[in-house]
Amino acid sequence: MVADIRIRPAQVDDARVLARLRYQFKQEDYERMALEQESFVDDCQRWIHDRLTNGRLLAWVAEFDGEVRGHVFLGCVGKFPSPFPGSTELGYITNFYVQPDQRNLGLGRALLDAVVEH
C-alpha cells in the first residue's frame, strides 16, 4: 500500500467529488452515450448530499496527494424483526471504485477494511 494514502469517512462536502467519481466509474461499465457530465454531476451531487446528510448512506474515501481517488458506499437496510437479539440493519456495499491509475496499490483493500471495521 502507498504510504501517503489516507482512508476517511466521507463528509457532506465530498458530495461533488463523489458524484464525479461516480460518473467515471459508470463510464468504465458502458460504451453507449452517457448523460452530459456536468448535468449528471449536479444531480448526483444533490442525491449523495441528501443521503449523507440524513445518514441513509455512509461512505469512505481514499485520498492520495490531497485528492479523493476512490470510494466505497454502505447502504443501511432495515432487517425484518427477529426473536433473536442483534443488529436491526444490514449493510449493503455498493459503488466501490478506485481510479484506474491508482489500482493495485492497496486502496481498495483499505477501503473495504474501513467498512468492515465500521
Cell triple for 54: 440524513
pLDDT along the chain (118 residues), means of 10: 82 96 87 80 96 92 93 90 81 93 92 94
Q: What is the DSSP string of 67-118?
A: EEEEEEEEEEEEPPP-SS-S-SEEEEEEEEEE-GGGTTSSHHHHHHHHHHH-
DSSP-derived letter for residue 44 is H
Residue with cell 457530465: 37
Q: Which domains does the chain have, with CATH numbers?
A: 6-117 (3.40.630.30)
The predicted pLDDT at position 3 comes to: 64
pTM: 0.86
What is the strand order of the sheet 67-78 is part of?
6-9, 57-64, 67-78, 89-98
